[in-house]
Amino acid sequence: METNLDQKYEERVVRILSKDIEGGMKIYPGLTKVKGISWSMSNALCKILKIDKNRKIGSLTNQEIEKLSEFMKNPKIPKHMSNRKSDFETGEDKHLIGSDLEFKKEFDIKRLKKIKSYRGFRHMAGLPTRGQRTKSNFRKNKAKGAGIKKKGKKK
């Protein structure tokens, strides 16, 4: 049974770190919509900032949203939860979110291609980089099997 408050929260769209999140979502799954925030990170955010995980995102005040986004930008979490351990340039443990995460990933792949590492070659060829089999998977319609016949003219 929905109340007027629940309907009001569902109509509101909250913007957290350049990502629009529906107001009807609960905070715990809603935070995972932001790139770089995993389920465990979302849980840690809720526990550290003492926010109820089952509240609707639409019910957050502007101060709470600001507090959430500030914590996401510079989280004080254990090392094992960070998504960029021992950064290549600085050697620090960082947690990147949003466009920063995309740029770093892109630069890492470019660096691998530039130094011509095995992983770089695999990225260039569009093949898997972590040792998976390629006979049956990752085919991308490049070569059809012997059993497939061409449609069209009959002899």
Identity of the amino acid at 115: I
How high is the pLDDT of residue 143? 58
The hierarchical CATH code for the domain 4-78 is: 1.10.8.50
Question: What pLDDT score does 124 carry?
Answer: 93
Max CA distance (Å), the chain: 75
User: What pLDDT score does 123 carry?
Assistant: 93
Q: How far apart are CA 75 and CA 82, in angstroms?
A: 9
- pLDDT score of 142: 59
- pLDDT averaged per 10 residues in sequence order, the chain, 155 residues: 61 83 89 90 91 90 90 86 83 85 91 94 92 85 62 64
pLDDT of residue 8: 65
Show the 3-state SS of 68-122: HHHHHHCCCCCHHHCCECCCCCCCCCECCCCHHHHHHHHHHHHHHHHCCCHHHHH
* pLDDT value for 112: 93
103: left (phi over 0), alpha (psi -120 to 50) or beta: alpha
Q: Domain residues of the chain, as ranges?
A: 4-78, 98-125
pTM of the model: 0.70
